[in-house]
Copies of this chain bind each other. A is one copy, B any other.
Amino acid sequence: MAELDITAVARSSGLPASTLRYYEERGLIASTGRNGLKRVFDEGVLERLALIAVGRAAGFTLDDIARMFGPDGRPAPDRAVLTAKADELDATIADLTAVRDGLRHAAACPAPSHLECPTFRGILAAAGTLRAPGKRVRR
């Protein structure tokens, strides 16, 4: 398999080298060795990085993701955990959909008083159960 230096991995993955070092430190990826000081990565790291990206997009923490790889390096996720996260995503998607509709409504409705509009009040009433999404990542 082809060997890549950190710059090549950065280029192919779109991640900065600093992130790759950080991921290695966190045990998410591993370099296959060194060429002098320099890390050497196996090509397979790219697939692993893609898997990590999916995990992150799903809302898993880096620690969660690290635990999904067996000591052998193969992904071995707990199916129950995946299902639970999928359910969580369903709830999040429902929330975001409602909020998106609310935003579009507020943008379209010319009245200064969204506060009186039933559509909008419905969303406000549900606001208490909303989860905030936090910051979306770079890119």
Chain A residues engaging chain B, CB cutoff 8 angstroms? 13-14, 47, 50-51, 53-54, 56-59, 61, 74-75, 77, 79-80, 82-83, 85-86, 88-90, 92-93, 95-97, 99-100, 102-104, 106-108, 112, 114-115, 123-125, 127-137, 139
Asked if A136 and B127 sit within 8 Å, CB to CB, the answer is no
Chain B residues, Cβ within 8 Å of A112: 74
Please state if A92 and B136 are interface contacts (CB–CB under 8 Å): yes
Return the contact of A103 from the options B86, B93, B102, B133 (Cβ within 8 A): B86
The reply to whether A83 and B95 contact each other, CB–CB distance below 8 Å, is: no
Q: Are A100 and B86 in contact (CB under 8 A)?
A: yes
Expressed in whole angstroms, the Cα–Cα distance for A102 and B82 within the complex equals 9
Known A57-B127, A103-B86: A92·B133 in contact at CB below 8 Å: yes
With most chain B CB atoms within 10 A of its CB, the pick from A107, A129, A133 is A133
